[in-house]
Amino acid sequence: MSRATVSYVLNDRRDVRVSDTTRKHVLEVARRLGYIGSPAARALRSGRGDVVLLLVPDWDVSGQLAVLLEDIGSLVAQYGLVCLRYEGSLWQGSLDRILGRIPAACVVTLSPLGDNDAQALDSAAIPEVPAWLLDQPGHPHTTALHQADIVQAQVDHLLQQGYHRLAYLAHEEPRALPFTEPRITAFQDICRIHGILDAPYAIVSLDLDTIRHTLQTWTAQAGEPLGVVAWNDVTALGIISAATAMGINVPNDLGVMGGDDTPVATLTRPTISSVRFDLPAEAQVIANHIAGAIGSSTDPAAGKTAAVIVVPRQSTARTRLGWDRRNGVTDLANTPS
């Protein structure tokens, strides 16, 4: 075969007519010979690399964040690019050395870069795609989903179900603190807007004794049904388990609102009300920005705001007459039909 034909196949050129039989034969011979194309050569020829470098800070990369990162990787592949994730803190301050080894088409940042890394990226003339998930001083988030949106949906649901006293509980996870703290701040702000000035919060270890002690204090202070906003569904499960051990009825005396809408929410009794995020839409927006950075066509439908969807279940569905301590009257409106 000619060198041109082999080149077309190895570079996956679909704008040139090559039979399927020829393509399969070239790829089989390349596999048998152990051929691997040179990324540096491709970058030199095309004027850019084919790697999307995704820089992840030292965060807890599990749960919904893991799903989001996987979705981004899948979408990036549609542009003929490879998504490479660098997780942790080792890359911070060393971006110049990393860019000298990786032919990056662009760099996706989940939080603002430090001065040295920002300078390295600017010197390398590689475009940055900011996908900042958190607000920081001078650097507002750039993604569609805001942490406060999650808490707002949780609080609104509990208020609609007739819980006038609220609290927020998260379990200790040091690498999740960058997300936990903004949600607690949002919880305090939202409660203040609703006139709830004595809404407690706590970050506790994930064990039943600690959660039980916290609930005991909160329920004694509430004096009426308490609605608890949980960091996620695992935290909500701990709250329900502790409440059961204390003889507290969920949801009549204690409403529990989880987060992430994981399978855990449907496997406990009562089932856990939760919130679901439109992560595919969020990933598509980020992928759209990546496509724009490398000069590819973008998806015009990728500009929609990612929604937070409330998934009501048994843990907030009060089954007997609610009551409003403030008015001293029975509240029939909060009783499910």
Six-digit token string for 54: 């995704």
Contact criterion met (CB below 8 Å) for 225 and 193:
no
10-residue mean pLDDT series, the chain (337 residues): 87 82 91 71 56 94 89 90 91 91 92 94 93 87 88 97 96 92 96 95 95 96 95 97 96 97 95 93 91 78 71 86 39 38
CB neighbours of 251 closer than 8 A, spacing ≥ 6? 161, 270, 314, 315, 316, 317, 318, 319
Can you give the pLDDT at residue 309?
Answer: 94
| Number of other CB atoms surrounding residue 139 within 10 Å | 13
β-sheet with 165-171: strand ranges across: 201-204, 165-171, 226-230, 254-257
Provide the pLDDT for residue 326. Answer: 38
For the chain, the maximum distance between any two Cα atoms, rounded to a whole number of angstroms, is 89
Q: Using alpha carbons, list the distances in angstroms from residue 257 to 18, 24, 100, 200.
A: 57, 54, 47, 15
Structure tokens at 181: 């703290």
pTM: predicted TM-score of the whole model, two decimal places: 0.78
For residue 42, the tally of other CB atoms under 10 A from its CB is 14
Where do the domains of the chain lie, and which CATH numbers do they carry?
A: 1-37 (no CATH), 39-142+282-301 (3.40.50.2300), 147-273+312-334 (3.40.50.2300)
Q: What pLDDT was estimated at residue 286?
A: 92
282 and 322 Cβ atoms separated by less than 8 Å: no
- Rg (alpha carbons) of the chain, rounded to whole number: 26
pLDDT score at 31 = 84
Helix axes 279-294, 63-77, angle to 10 degrees: 40
What pLDDT sits at residue 302? 58
**Residue 231: burial class (beta carbons within 10 Å; 0-12, 13-18, 19+):** buried
Candidates 41, 39, 36, 35; CA nearest to 50 is 39
Q: Please state, in angstroms and rounded to a whole number, the distance separating the CA atoms of residues 110 and 133.
A: 6
Give the Cα separation of 30 and 181 in Å (integer). Answer: 52
List Cβ neighbours of 17 (8 Å cut-off, separation of 6 or more): none
Contact indicator for 9, 27 with CB cutoff of 8 Å: yes
Query: Within its chain, how far is the Cα of 240 from the centroid?
Result: 24
